[in-house]
Chains A and B, each alone.
Chain A
Amino acid sequence: GAVVSQHPSRVICKSGTSVKIECRSLDFQATTMFWYRQFPKQSLMLMATSNEGSKATYEQGVEKDKFLINHASLTLSTLTVTSAHPEDSSFYICSASTSRGSSEAFFGQGTRLTVV
């Protein structure tokens, strides 16, 4: 299967700072990338969908000014958590697909963010 690389796998930051998470598709062109957040013992919650070269579509309740998504190329999308607070501590996961009808979404390894 296709490989999606997510970096960093773990990050600890101070409250008020910003953190950038990268998601790269290594061996395919990802027209669409998805960003999820997962709290302990809960399922994946879609935060936003990004298409290469256009603005991301955010889910209801997700602040676009706080969670900045950039999908500048077909192999790279970034999520920046701005002015992080302890309640932003969570597991963030990206996934990528080659098309809307793709039969599989490929996931990155996830990023464990802890804001202290």
Chain B
Amino acid sequence: GQNIDQPTEMTATEGAIVQINCTYQTSGFNGLFWYQQHAGEAPTFLSYNVLDGLEEKGRFSSFLSRSKGYSYLLLKELQMKDSASYLCAVKDSNYQLIWGAGTKLIIKP
């Protein structure tokens, strides 16, 4: 079966750095996505990786290793507004998005 694993919850301090990991097992691979979702709102796009390596976009970076079925989202200079759920999703061979359960990130002052 297809599976995406990410931690259920993480806690970090304002101003610090946090890394959210995601491992996947899917039938085929056509890209990995990270989305941010605040409670009661729809997800918003953060990043997309289809090749191995690090993609940097401001305070957020995303890394992919296809051979290991592994990705992480790195958030720097954490702000209180970064408190949200972070969803990892993979497009499989049918271009269907397979979603992880999300990681709830709690930022403390």
Chain A positions within 8 Å of B, measured between CB atoms, are 1, 6, 34, 42-46, 49, 91, 93, 100-101, 103-110, 112
Contacts and interface: CB of A to CB of B under 8 A. Distances in A.
A44 B50 contact: no
Contact of A44 (B31, B45, B99): B99
A9 to B, nearest CB: 10
A57 to B, nearest CB: 10
Contacts of B96: 46, 49
Interface SS of chain A: helix, strand, loop or mixed?
Answer: loop
Chain B interface extent, by class:
10 to 19
A72 to B, nearest CB: 23
Interface SS of chain B: helix, strand, loop or mixed?
Answer: loop
9 contacts: A43-B101, A44-B87, A45-B99, A91-B40, A103-B31, A104-B33, A107-B42, A107-B44, A112-B40
Contacts of B97: 34, 46, 105
A58 to B, nearest CB: 13
A43 B48 contact: no
Contacts of A106: 45
A43 B42 contact: no
Contacts of A49: 96
A41 to B, nearest CB: 8
Nearest to A103: B48
